[in-house]
Structure 1
Amino acid sequence: MNFRTLKELAEKAEQSGLSIGRYMVQEQSQESGKAPEEEFAQMASYFEVMKEAVRRGLTEDTTSPSGLTGQDAKRVMAYRDKRASLLGEDASLAMAYALAVSEVNASMGRIIATPTAGSCGIIPGVLISCQERFGWSDEQMVEGLFAAGAIGYVIANNSFVSGAEGGCQAEVGSAIGMAAGALADLRGASPAQAVHAVGLALKNSLGLVCDPVGGLVEVPCIVRNGFGAVTALAAADMALAGVRSVIPSDEVVQVMLEVGTAMPESLRETAKGGLAQTPTGRKIMKELLEK
């Protein structure tokens, strides 16, 4: 790739006169040696998987093999349908969709890791709900996924996207940043504004630990996907309104690396600390081991 930082990504896209998503299609084509149309078709197939995961999460039984999770996306949708949501219909829809995809993952269904399975609901939750809201075409959504991919590429190469390496900030946090930047890009933000959305999102996720109860990607992972979708919407809105990340986004990525490196092993996907070691967390672990 011709960029290593978010600043370089924004500058390259600006110079080319393209959105981040469209610029990334060209970059990916040059990197792989495949035609842009071929790369686009591959990403389009991923988007179809995402849409199917949303559908399944809202219409099928998503109870996980452990029995710990499932059906919460349907509960949120039913609550939303009563027009009672404090978030409003748009944000609550993104939250429900994010929960749906994450529950499909927990119930052994097919998802796209964005950037990991543990954070798989955030990007589809945000993008698919906004597609329905604004009437965007599938082609536009695929460009959004390329924008998210460009942002994820920078984060992965300068920090990490694995909970085992850097805590949940690396998984859910990265996904929030990717979704926020991609959404801003789709809404017509300048590349610089889209990058500010990434920094704003990541700053709000710094220090988030990875403490899966029972060692499973269920509790609290699934609800964090729901919360993450709402945070991504907020970060994109701030950036589109002209709010800047005072600390440059690339420096925020560096801080995420430093915080994750300093995080004790007990809070990095080992189930040795945090929620996993509460009395209830230990009880659940004991019950799972006895099954």
Structure 2
Amino acid sequence: MQLKYKSVEELVSAASSSNKKLSEIVLTQQAWDMETTEEALYANMKNSFTVMRESVLNGMDESLRSSSGLSGGAAAKLKKAVEEGKNHYGHLLGNAISMALAVTEYNSCMGQIVAAPTAGSCGVIPAALISVMEEFDLPEHDIIMSMFTASAIGMVIAKCASIAGAEGGCQAEVGSASAMAAAALTEIFGGTPQMVSDSCAIALKNTMGLVCDPVAGLVEVPCIKRNAMGVANAFTASELACAGITSVIPADEVILAMKQVGDLMSSSLKETSEGGLAATPTGCRLRRQIFGSDPA
């Protein structure tokens, strides 16, 4: 079956009919389309995962600060609380949230990250995958393969809706990242292709209508903490789907609804910094503090 990445149902059908994981059919298909080998594509994905791991490590530097002064040090603070057993919701969640903060803070400090699916949502997938790999001592191979599943979901969303905050709001960025991470997690823990689809749908529904309102136009506030929320959302969606809880609204219909919501959203709520948190008194003060005056 020639994959067109025009629907999640297409992916589920192809995987189910061949009795394979989504990642397996995507890897084979992509190797064919790109006229390369599966081994070469896997090596490229492994390199991306290496960059993700390095961004988590580098982002844990407690002295890290962005040039704006809006971010840095939060990941290290939470990581310390987790290591000392002072967080309240378990090691896995605390560790994952700290990793999401680490990657996005490192991005704000111009560090190298993997924009999966975007720089503004770069912390969700690394945090989800690396935290579960460490927590459950999972094979790196399984984690890297799951990234092909995440990528396929991201391609469908990009084709049928959007992954850009300027077009669809933060639902298109952190929302899409959550859906991609949830899909990867569900496959890692043995979920069926249909469960992968359900986890994607649930994650997107949970972020439906989320606006993109960066303070001072910078990908820091509230973007960094939304990445932390995004990984928690991915865990929730995957947990539900793996328990056999289905999404009443199919994934492809959720993606279409997300696009419709994004189209209806005011331009002031789509990365222009003209509304939402960016337009609050504190948001406006921070913009003047950073840039000296309001932009023309």
Q: How big is the shift at 1:59?
A: 3.0
Identify the residue that residue 258 of structure 2 maps to in structure 1: 256
Q: How big is the shift at 1:60?
A: 5.7
Identity across matched positions, percent: 43
Asked whether the 8 Å contact 2:26–2:149 carries over to 1, the reply is yes
Q: RMSD of the alignment, in Å?
A: 1.1
Question: For residues 137-216 of structure 1, what are the structure 2 equivalents within 5 Å?
Answer: 137-216=139-218
| Partner residue of 1:8 out of 7, 10, 26 | 10
| d(CA) in 1 for partners of 2:286, 2:141 | 44
| d(CA) in 2 for partners of 1:81, 1:136 | 21
Identify the residue that residue 126 of structure 1 maps to in structure 2: 128
Q: What are the superposed Cα offsets for residues 29-83 of structure 1, whole Å, 9 maximum, x if unpaired?
A: 1111111101111111000000000000113632111011001011111121232
Stretch of structure 1 that moved more, 133-142 or 115-124: 133-142
| Partner residue of 2:97 out of 95, 98, 101 | 95
| d(CA) in 2 for partners of 1:65, 1:104 | 12
Q: What are the superposed Cα offsets for residues 153-209 of structure 1, whole Å, 9 maximum, x if unpaired?
A: 111000000000000000000000000011001111000001100000000000000
| d(CA) in 1 for partners of 2:62, 2:88 | 26
Unpaired runs of 5+ residues, structure 2, are none
| d(CA) in 1 for partners of 2:149, 2:265 | 29
Q: What are the superposed Cα offsets for residues 228-257 of structure 1, whole Å, 9 maximum, x if unpaired?
A: 111101110000001100000100000000
Stretch of structure 1 that moved more, 34-43 or 74-83: 74-83
Identify the residue that residue 218 of structure 1 maps to in structure 2: 220
SS in 2 for 1:59: coil
Question: For residues 234-253 of structure 1, what are the structure 2 equivalents within 5 Å?
Answer: 234-253=236-255
Q: How many residues align?
A: 291
Q: What are the superposed Cα offsets for residues 259-283 of structure 1, whole Å, 9 maximum, x if unpaired?
A: 0000000000000000001000000
1:29 to 2:25 alignment: no
Q: How big is the shift at 1:21?
A: 1.3
Asked whether the 8 Å contact 2:61–2:73 carries over to 1, the reply is no
Q: What are the superposed Cα offsets for residues 77-104 of structure 1, whole Å, 9 maximum, x if unpaired?
A: 1121232322211111111111100111
**Deviation above 3 Å: which 4+ runs of structure 1?**
none
| Partner residue of 1:284 out of 283, 286, 290 | 286
TM-score by length of 2: 0.96
Identify the residue that residue 114 of structure 1 maps to in structure 2: 116
| d(CA) in 1 for partners of 2:59, 2:183 | 25
Asked whether the 8 Å contact 2:62–2:72 carries over to 1, the reply is no
Asked whether the 8 Å contact 2:62–2:76 carries over to 1, the reply is no
| d(CA) in 1 for partners of 2:25, 2:273 | 40
Amino acid at match of 2:22: I
Q: What are the superposed Cα offsets for residues 122-164 of structure 1, whole Å, 9 maximum, x if unpaired?
A: 0000000001112122211110111100100111000000000
Identify the residue that residue 273 of structure 1 maps to in structure 2: 275
Residues 27, 219 of structure 1: alpha-carbon distance in 2 compared, 3 angstrom cutoff: same
| d(CA) in 2 for partners of 1:81, 1:49 | 24
Amino acid at match of 1:48: T
Asked whether the 8 Å contact 2:62–2:77 carries over to 1, the reply is no
| d(CA) in 2 for partners of 1:151, 1:31 | 17
Amino acid at match of 2:100: A
| d(CA) in 2 for partners of 1:132, 1:22 | 23
